[in-house]
């Protein structure tokens, strides 16, 4: 269902823009229909960024047709002209003032920032009127193409669009920085706005690749509020997922070093069909701290990722912490990472072992080189600096689990370890990912489960490349 509300000229648009569209509505509609391919391309890219949504609100300026590919239970549009909305949507209704409550929306798309009389003030107002989990997506022209459009408009003397603000991406970043938002990610798209069969789709996808995307026309910038309300760790229940396979001698180390990490802590040991006495050792654990609860579950015996995911499904905490049974990361570092999560607007903590000096035999040379390679590849493809893609210690909120798991296996190949699943899904769902350095120690007992390094590396390479293609190219 699409709901429509006419714009408040004083608050959102330059008056001359409103006057222009009132006089030239028919010309604008003709232009939109003639260039439907271009707006369809914008809508398709938006669909990949927004993903699933219950409620989405669009601030438009004579470009309401960008909502056509968006999937949401309800889409609300604020635009200048009701006629423009009605020409491009089959069913819509008027939006009352009572319904205009931004705290209910999952996504707010601002497609009119270049026409707003005071974009800074509007962003500040919006920041105070949306929920902490709401994503704000800005659509803006690149600096190069904005200039080209202005030149075309001068020479054609047409009536397809009004005058607009000349906002470079650097200026938009400055606006964002001083309006209580920050950029979670920025994607670029569309190099050619006209449909030439085969050629245009090919070019528009090729130019989504890193470096080439500098020349694209449109920026899609995802924002998150800087200041959000969070509970302190002492108010949260922490669910610690510890996947175990033949870790009998490490269970005692875990027991002797673990402590309550929040208001309460539940430790879920997933015994993945161990051939030693791992489960017996877990069952022997007796803790005096009543705020710590020990649970066990039977792993499916398929791979680490399936074991971890089963544990997350059983977890009852506010925060999920995945911790490897080899004890190569200290519990003190884990507590520090949890503290950062609860004190910032981060959604997902990826601990990194690649910052601090590692203990001599903690990571094999081939694994070290491979980790650097995949970190660089991930950072390049997804424009998000990651230094360690394979650290098993990851922390996120249980409320985000449902949307994370829906995005798994976007590559079509199972991630045996789960690290790529989680990072790529967090990126896809616009979660703010932060890295926290941890000390990395040599395994005291048992053997590493990361064998067949070369074949695992090929699998991870395929997952990374295919996921990039599906999320950034094949829209």
Sorted by sequence, the CB contacts under 8 Å of residue 241 that are 6+ apart come out as 268, 270, 308, 311, 312, 315, 320, 321, 322, 323
Give the model's pLDDT for residue 295: 96
pLDDT band at 354 (very low <50, low <70, confident <90, very high): very high
Averaged pLDDT of the chain: 87
How confident is the model over 205-215, as pLDDT tens digits?
A: 999 999 999 99
Give the model's pLDDT for residue 201: 92
Give the model's pLDDT for residue 86: 74
Number of residues that make up the chain: 475
Sorted by sequence, the CB contacts under 8 Å of residue 248 that are 6+ apart come out as 274, 276, 277, 278, 280, 281, 446
pLDDT band at 296 (very low <50, low <70, confident <90, very high): very high
Give the model's pLDDT for residue 208: 94
How confident is the model over 113-140, as pLDDT tens digits?
A: 887 878 888 899 899 899 999 999 999 9
pLDDT band at 9 (very low <50, low <70, confident <90, very high): very low
Give the model's pLDDT for residue 205: 94
User: Dihedral of the CA atoms 426, 70, 67, 380 (nearest 10)?
Assistant: 30
Give me the mean pLDDT over the 286-294 stretch.
91
Residue with the bigger pLDDT between 147 and 29: it is 29
What percent of the chain stands above pLDDT 90? 54
Residue 312, pLDDT above cutoff 80: yes
Residue 7, pLDDT above cutoff 70: no
Beta strand ranges found along 37-156 (DSSP E): 55-59, 74-79, 92-94, 107-110, 135-141
Rg value, the chain, Cα: 25
Flag the least confident range among 29-43, 159-173, 217-231, 342-356.
159-173
pLDDT band at 157 (very low <50, low <70, confident <90, very high): low
Q: Which residues pair with 395 in a beta bridge?
A: 321, 349
- Residue 165 dihedral angles phi and psi, to the nearest 5°: -65, 145
| DSSP, res 98 | G
| DSSP, res 471 | I
Give me the mean pLDDT over the 234-257 stretch.
93
Flag the least confident range among 121-130, 164-173, 253-262.
164-173
Determine the distance from the C-alpha atom of residue 214 to the mean position of all C-alpha atoms in its chain, rounded to a whole number: 21
Give the model's pLDDT for residue 314: 97
Residue 272, pLDDT above cutoff 50: yes
What percent of the chain stands above pLDDT 70? 88
pLDDT band at 11 (very low <50, low <70, confident <90, very high): very low
String of DSSP letters for 413-445 = S--SSSHHHHHHHHHHTT--EEEEE-------S
Give the model's pLDDT for residue 12: 44
Give the model's pLDDT for residue 10: 44
Residue 159, pLDDT above cutoff 60: no
How confident is the model over 91-119, as pLDDT tens digits?
A: 666 666 555 678 888 999 998 888 787 88
Sorted by sequence, the CB contacts under 8 Å of residue 393 that are 6+ apart come out as 321, 322, 323, 324, 329, 333, 334, 337, 351, 438
């Amino acid at each position: 269902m699409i709901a429509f509300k006419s714009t408040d000229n004083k608050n959102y648009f330059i008056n001359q823009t409103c006057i222009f569209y009132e006089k030239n509505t028919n010309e604008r509609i003709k232009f939109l229909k003639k260039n439907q391919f271009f707006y369809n391309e914008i809508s398709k890219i938006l669909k990949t960024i927004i993903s699933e949504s219950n409620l989405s609100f669009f601030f438009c300026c004579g470009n309401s047709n960008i909502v056509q590919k968006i999937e949401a239970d309800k889409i609300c549009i604020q635009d200048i002209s009701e006629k423009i909305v009605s020409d491009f949507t089959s069913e819509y209704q008027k939006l009352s003032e009572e319904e205009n409550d931004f705290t209910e929306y999952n996504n707010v798309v601002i497609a009119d920032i270049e026409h707003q009389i005071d974009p800074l003030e509007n962003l500040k107002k919006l920041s105070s009127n949306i929920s902490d989990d709401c994503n704000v997506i800005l659509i803006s022209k690149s600096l190069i193409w904005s200039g080209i459009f202005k030149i075309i408009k001068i020479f054609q003397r047409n009536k397809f669009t009004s005058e607009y603000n000349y906002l470079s991406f650097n200026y938009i970043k400055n606006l964002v920085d001083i309006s209580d938002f920050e950029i979670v990610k920025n994607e670029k798209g569309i190099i050619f706005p006209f449909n030439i069969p085969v050629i245009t789709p090919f070019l528009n996808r090729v130019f989504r690749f890193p470096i080439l995307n500098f020349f694209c026309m449109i920026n899609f910038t995802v924002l998150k509020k800087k200041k959000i309300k969070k509970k302190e760790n002492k108010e949260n229940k922490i669910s610690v997922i510890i996947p175990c396979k033949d870790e009998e001698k490490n269970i005692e180390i875990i027991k002797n070093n673990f402590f309550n990490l929040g208001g309460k802590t539940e430790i879920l040991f997933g015994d993945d069909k161990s051939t030693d006495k791992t489960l017996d050792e877990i069952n022997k654990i007796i803790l005096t701290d009543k705020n710590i609860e020990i649970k066990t579950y039977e792993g499916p015996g398929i791979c680490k990722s399936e074991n971890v995911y089963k544990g997350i499904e059983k977890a009852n905490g506010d925060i999920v912490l995945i911790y490897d049974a080899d004890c190569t990361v200290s519990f003190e570092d884990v507590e520090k990472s949890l503290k950062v999560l609860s004190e910032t607007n981060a959604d997902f903590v990826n601990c990194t072992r690649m910052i601090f000096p590692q203990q001599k035999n903690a990571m094999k040379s081939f694994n070290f080189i491979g980790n650097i390679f995949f970190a660089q590849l991930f950072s390049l493809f997804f424009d998000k600096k990651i230094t360690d893609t394979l650290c098993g210690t990851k922390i996120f909120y249980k409320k985000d689990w449902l949307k994370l798991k829906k995005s798994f296996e976007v590559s079509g190949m199972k991630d045996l370890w789960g690290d790529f699943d989680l990072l790529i899904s967090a990126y896809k769902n616009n979660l703010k990912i932060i890295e926290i350095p941890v000390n990395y120690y040599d395994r005291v007992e048992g053997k590493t489960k990361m064998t067949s390094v070369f074949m695992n590396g090929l699998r991870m390479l395929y997952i990374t490349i295919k996921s990039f293609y599906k999320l950034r190219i094949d829209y």
